[in-house]
Structure 1
């Protein structure tokens, strides 16, 4: 049975020109992996600077990324910064400051890696993630089965 592989790219918008060029570079690399048939699908999601949890789909994606990090002894901080805030008009709530670019890699429906993150192997950027994913896929490895610490 063939395994389905998918990249989810998350981009903050709006961003300054230099940051937008960096985002475009990440998206281009992801699209190249798709064109070369290393991944079956790419999804691109644009998000704002802060997530308040009011968008339930976005909140579920962030929760899944945080669960992946906890399961793999990693942290998404400081690029995902969860904190409480107080407003005299809106009251207290919890918000997450979102990174300008984030990458999630799935094999079948399993979340296998989230970039950027920090873990036992140090800090892994989105570029590091793309390098590791590309290297594994070119060698025919399943990242989930190898136990590779993405």
Structure 2
């Protein structure tokens, strides 16, 4: 996992944890396979990012810079899906959540694993995604990358990862 300069093929793997459980070796199996793809030259670099189970449904509700960054990434992921006539549901799904003090708010359920692919800085694929009634999974996508069957989707220009357009009101750094 090397540093990013925006050039070449870069992959971000978002996971809830680095647990070794689950299909095909779980998240640690995905990380190992991405490392092998990097060593084989199929991708130029990859990064693993740990995120939680839920994210705020709006940037304003994020209240923290990391929460706003997740919200911005989700917005770019949704834009990519819309531009390609695909859906991120049911893997990324907005729903009402009750808090311990009885408040109700909207949040986005995050998948256990999500793969975002970039070519020369542009977002080119987000997995899991649904194409009609068919859901494409992260292990399947990694297999396609390994086999050289990446396919072609419309790319979305994406700002430098981690760059927020403006500070979140009330967010402490």
User: Where in structure 2 are the equivalents of 1:12-91 lying within 5 Å?
Assistant: 12-13=16-17, 18-19=21-22, 21-52=25-56, 53=59, 54=62, 55-87=67-99, 89=101, 91=103
Shift of 1:93: 3.0
TM-score by length of 2: 0.70
Shift of 1:95: 0.7
1:43-78 Cα deviation digits (max 9, x unpaired): 111011111152111111111111111111111111
**Partner Cα separation in structure 2 for residue 95 and residue 83 of structure 1:** 6
Q: Which residue of 2 aligns with 1:147?
A: 152
**Partner Cα separation in structure 2 for residue 59 and residue 90 of structure 1:** 24
RMSD (CA atoms): 2.5
Q: Which residue of 2 aligns with 1:102?
A: 114
Decide whether aligned partners of structure 1 residues 86 and 11 sit closer, same or farther in structure 2, where only a CA change above 3 A counts.
Answer: same
**Partner Cα separation in structure 2 for residue 36 and residue 121 of structure 1:** 33
> 2:18 touches 2:28 (CA, 8 Å); kept in 1?
no
Q: Secondary structure at the match of 2:147?
A: helix
**Partner Cα separation in structure 2 for residue 50 and residue 73 of structure 1:** 25
Q: Which residue of 2 aligns with 1:10?
A: 14
Show structure 1 runs of 5+ residues with no match: 138-142
Shift of 1:25: 0.9
The structure with more strand, counted as a fraction of residues? 1
Shift of 1:14: 7.5
The structure with more helix, counted as a fraction of residues? 1
Show structure 2 runs of 5+ residues with no match: 1-6, 155-173
TM-score by length of 1: 0.79
Decide whether aligned partners of structure 1 residues 82 and 31 sit closer, same or farther in structure 2, where only a CA change above 3 A counts.
Answer: same
Which residue, out of 122, 127, 132, partners 2:144? 132
